[in-house]
Structure 1
Amino acid sequence: MADSRRLKSLGWIAALVLVALLAWTASGPWRAVAGIRQAAQAGDARALARHVDFPALRASLKPQVQDRIVRAAGVDAQAGPFAAFGLSVASGLAGGLVDAMVTPAGLGAMMEGRKVWNRLGNVPPSARGDTSAQPGPVPEPRLRFESLSRASATVSSGDGGELVLVLTRKGTRWRLSEVRLPPA
């Protein structure tokens, strides 16, 4: 009789642990978004980096930035061989810019209101007369699950556009892996 009580107790404990683990995992997107918002408001690039999958984020941003360059150049830019060459160089530079900016140091530079080259020179924003270095409040996102391992947080911008931040789960950890830019 004591053994059956012990087995029932162990069964309930195991069930509670499983439910707690599932609840912890399911709350992951909200915790990740809250961590991203707090890090952005505090200007803490190191804390922000814990919530970002940099290779996946770069891979999602490169084609979007290159597409914007092609669209901005228009159809005439691809008409001649020199224009097409210039466009391909510009697209390559945009990919390099994404590679440089979507790093912990690049995020830190953006969060501090600096450009990457000013950060290398270690010139503080106040020395350049830049008073807009303090980040504004990060708007509250609308969060929804796309699947068991994917959630999106939609942030409305001041101009009516929407930025979609996609979080993916690996194990019990949720990280920012994709950004869908608003239409140009």
Structure 2
Amino acid sequence: MSNQRIVPIAIALLLLLAAAFWHFSPYLTLHAMRSAARAHDAAALAPHVDFPRVRESLKRQLHAATERKARDAAGTGTGLAQAGAAFGAMLGNLVADKLVDSLVTAERLADAMREGQIAGQAEDENEGQAATAGKAEKRWTFERDGADVFIARALDSRNEPAVGFVFERRGFATWRLVSVELPRPRE
């Protein structure tokens, strides 16, 4: 082959490799984080996490849940009950903020990635009994929200999302965990 044909082929191949790397980069980050979690290596997991943003996302979700419960309680009560529900929601938000600040660590996130659920989150009695007998690898779903957001969700025994990990792209192919999605309550 002549040099005139090799150069365009080499350039096309390099562009194809760069595009493939860009496309699979969030999966590589997730794999690195899950491997660190399985190895109980919080130090290897931590650089992939934007801790302030993860804390804020959890606080927002807990505040919304507290407000929803307070509205439900206030809707069925009298003026005094409504005031009590509002005070309870405010107190609950203060406690949730302090709890999130102290519990969002690399070790806790590693536990969540390894288990596919947030500590203390129970699926049902049968699932808890099965978990003690032997843990199977969690199933995961993946989706992209545009070019800059990647969401990995662990599935529970009912194939429903148990917890979601939201990653955001920074630069060409660097991804960081920016949010943990709590499962929606079953109705």
RMSD across aligned positions (CA): 3.3
TM-score, normalization by structure 1: 0.69
1:168 aligns with 2:185: no
2:91 to 89, 92, 95: 89
> Which residue in the other structure is 1:32 paired with?
29
Question: Residue 124 of structure 1 corresponds to which residue in structure 2?
Answer: none
Structure 2 vs 1, CA of residues 138 and 39 (structure 1 numbering), >3 Å: closer, same or farther?
A: farther
Q: Which amino acid in 1 is paired with 2:94?
A: G
**Normalized against structure 2, the TM-score is what?**
0.68
In 2: Cα distance, 1:5 partner to 1:89 partner: 73
Q: 1:42 aligns with which of 39, 43, 50?
A: 39
Aligned pair partner of 1:58 in 31, 45, 55: 55
Q: Deviations over 1:86-126 (max 9, x none)?
A: 42122022122212222336547889xxxxxxxxxxxxxxx
Partner of 2:118: none
Q: CA deviation at 1:79?
A: 1.0
Larger displacement relative to structure 2 (156-165 or 146-155): 156-165
Structure 2 distance, partners of 1:38, 1:176, is 15
Q: Report the CA distance shift for 1:83/1:154 in structure 2 as closer, same or farther (over 3 A).
A: closer
Closer, same or farther: CA 176–14 of 1 in aligned 2, 3 Å: same
Judge conservation of contact 2:73–2:85 (CA < 8 Å) in 1. no
Cα distance between partner residues in 2 of 1:169 and 1:102: 21
Instruction: List alignment gaps of at least 5 residues for structure 2.
Output: 114-134
Query: In the comparison of the two structures, how many residue pairs are matched?
Result: 159
Structure 1: which 5+ runs fail to align? 112-135
Q: Determine the C-alpha separation between the residues in 1 that align with 2:20 and 2:112.
A: 34
Q: Distance in 2 between matches of 1:177 and 1:28?
A: 16
Same amino acid, percent of matched pairs: 32
By how many angstroms is 1:5 displaced?
3.1
Check if 1:21 corresponds to 2:18. Answer: yes
More moved, 11-20 vs 147-156:
11-20
Deviation at 1:26, TM superposition (A): 0.9
